[in-house]
Structure 1
């Protein structure tokens, strides 16, 4: 009987230490690269050195505000997307 109690205590301890104690997952916005990180990725500049979409090579991007009130209460977080293929490329934050 004491073995079962000891086993239950160990299982509860493992649950709280390993599973419950994990850091919060990153949001989608935090998972995007910043502009300096994006520039380091291959195929992000044209032969003229102009910044472009790594997927389609288009050079025009659009800046959009992050709409989540929870993640962006101060309205200072933005994401940048390609105007041609609509893929989100990098994030930025204005102070």
Structure 2
């Protein structure tokens, strides 16, 4: 997949290149189904992130998820920053 090419369509496996992508996708759907945001809000947020360019598709997806979660008060920027730092520390220690 190129930098911001959308994922393959049905029958064109794989949809996710890494487990975190599937988890971000699932969290987005779960938050939407729980009424945390409307799908139109999600589409607008994701579209704005993709328009920034320069990243693979699911990195834009994750950025959009973090952005909408913060905007809706589901998690603060401080909580998100702490989670990113924890992931970075874990990744640095992973062989």
TM-score (norm 1): 0.23
Structure of greater Rg: 1
Q: Which has the higher strand share?
A: 1
TM-score (norm 2): 0.23
Which gives a bigger RCO, structure 1 or 2 (Cα 8 Å, sep 6+)?
A: 2
